[in-house]
Chains A and B, each alone.
Chain A
Amino acid sequence: MALLSVTDLEVRYGMILALRGISFKVENGQVVCLIGANGAGKSTTLNTISGLLKPYAGKIEFDGRDITKWRPDRICKAGLVQVPEGRQVIATMSVQENLEMGAYARSGGWLGPYLHPQKARKLSEEQRYDIEMVFKRFPRLQERRYQKAGSLSGGEQQMLAVGRALLARPKLMMLDEPSMGLAPVLVNEVFSIIKDLKAEGKTILLVEQNARKALEVADYAYVLERGQIIKSGPAETLRNDEQVIAAYLG
Chain B
Amino acid sequence: MDFLIDFFNLNDVQWVPQIVNIIWNGSLYSLFALGYALIFSVLGVLNLAHSAIFMWGAYVGLWAVCGNTVFDGQCPAVDVPVWWAIPAAMIGGGIIAILVDRIAFYPLRQRNAPRLSQLISSIGIAIMMVAIAELVFGKERLSMPLDAIPRRNFDIPDGLSIENPLDIGRIGLGMYVAEFNILLTPVRLQIIVVSLILMIFLGFIVTQTRLGQGMRTVAFSERVSSLLGVHVDNIYMIAFFISGALAGAAGMLYTLNSNVFLPSTGSELTLKGLTVIVLGGLGSIRGAVLGGYLVAAIEVYMVAATDYGGLADAVVFFLFFLVLMFRPQGILGQPLPDRA
Please determine whether chains A and B interact with each other in the same assembly: yes
Q: Is the CB of B229 within 8 A of A73?
A: yes
Q: Is the CB of B226 within 8 A of A76?
A: yes
Contact with A along B217-232 (1 / 0, CB 8 A): 1011101111111111
- Which of B217, B224, B231 is within 8 Å of A110, CB to CB? B231
Given contacts A73-B226, A104-B214, A105-B228, contact A114 B220 (CB under 8 A): no
Task: Tell me if B111 is interfacial: C-beta within 8 Å of chain A.
Answer: no
Task: Report the Cα distance A201→B13, complex, angstroms.
Answer: 74
Q: Contacts of A107 on B, CB cut-off 8 Å?
A: 210
Q: Which of A55-63, A90-98, A129-137, A236-244 lies at the interface with chain B?
A: A90-98
With both chains docked as a complex, state the minimum distance between the C-beta of B225 and any C-beta of chain A, in angstroms.
8
- Which of B214, B216, B226, B234 is within 8 Å of A72, CB to CB? B226
- Which of B208, B211, B224, B334 is within 8 Å of A90, CB to CB? B224
Given contacts A114-B209, A120-B209, contact A84 B214 (CB under 8 A): no
Task: Tell me if B181 is interfacial: C-beta within 8 Å of chain A.
Answer: no
Task: Tell me if B78 is interfacial: C-beta within 8 Å of chain A.
Answer: no
Q: Is the CB of A114 within 8 A of B227?
A: no
Contact with B along A74-98 (1 / 0, CB 8 A): 0011000110100010111100010
Task: Report the Cα distance A52→B227, complex, angstroms.
Answer: 8
- Which of A76, A110, A111, A113 is within 8 Å of B228, CB to CB? A76
Q: Select the residue from B210, B230, B234 with max chain A CB neighbours within 10 A.
A: B210
Task: Tell me if B213 is interfacial: C-beta within 8 Å of chain A.
Answer: yes
Task: Tell me if B238 is interfacial: C-beta within 8 Å of chain A.
Answer: yes
- Which of A73, A88, A101, A113 is within 8 Å of B232, CB to CB? A73
- Which of A82, A91, A111 is within 8 Å of B227, CB to CB? A82
Given contacts A73-B229, A168-B228, contact A120 B211 (CB under 8 A): yes
Task: Report the Cα distance A113→B217, complex, angstroms.
Answer: 15
- Which of B211, B219, B223 is within 8 Å of A114, CB to CB? B211
With both chains docked as a complex, state the minimum distance between the C-beta of B275 and any C-beta of chain A, in angstroms.
24
Contact with A along B191-220 (1 / 0, CB 8 A): 000000000000000001111011011011
Task: Tell me if A119 is interfacial: C-beta within 8 Å of chain B.
Answer: yes
Contact with B along A189-229 (1 / 0, CB 8 A): 00000000000000000000000000000000000000000
- Which of B211, B223, B228, B334 is within 8 Å of A101, CB to CB? B228
Q: Contacts of A50 on B, CB cut-off 8 Å?
A: 227
Given contacts A90-B217, A101-B217, A114-B238, contact A121 B229 (CB under 8 A): no
Task: Tell me if A21 is interfacial: C-beta within 8 Å of chain B.
Answer: no
With both chains docked as a complex, state the minimum distance between the C-beta of B339 and any C-beta of chain A, in angstroms.
12
- Which of A84, A97, A111, A168 is within 8 Å of B229, CB to CB? A168
Task: Tell me if A177 is interfacial: C-beta within 8 Å of chain B.
Answer: no
Q: Is the CB of A104 within 8 A of B230?
A: yes
Task: Report the Cα distance A51→B223, complex, angstroms.
Answer: 10
Q: Is the CB of B213 within 8 A of A104?
A: yes
Q: Is the CB of A120 within 8 A of B229?
A: no
Q: Contacts of A91 on B, CB cut-off 8 Å?
A: 220
Q: Contacts of A92 on B, CB cut-off 8 Å?
A: 216, 219-220, 334
Task: Tell me if A42 is interfacial: C-beta within 8 Å of chain B.
Answer: no
Contact with A along B231-265 (1 / 0, CB 8 A): 11010001000000000000000000000000000
Q: Contacts of B221 on A, CB cut-off 8 Å?
A: 88, 90
With both chains docked as a complex, state the minimum distance between the C-beta of A25 and any C-beta of chain B, in angstroms.
22
Interface residues of B (CB under 8 A from A): 208-211, 213-214, 216-217, 219-221, 223-232, 234, 238, 334
A-B contact pairs, 5 of them (CB 8 A): A71-B231, A88-B224, A92-B220, A102-B228, A104-B217
Given contacts A52-B227, A84-B227, 16 further A-B contacts (CB under 8 A): A50-B227, A73-B229, A77-B229, A81-B227, A84-B224, A90-B224, A92-B219, A93-B213, A93-B217, A93-B220, A104-B214, A106-B229, A114-B238, A120-B209, A121-B209, A164-B228
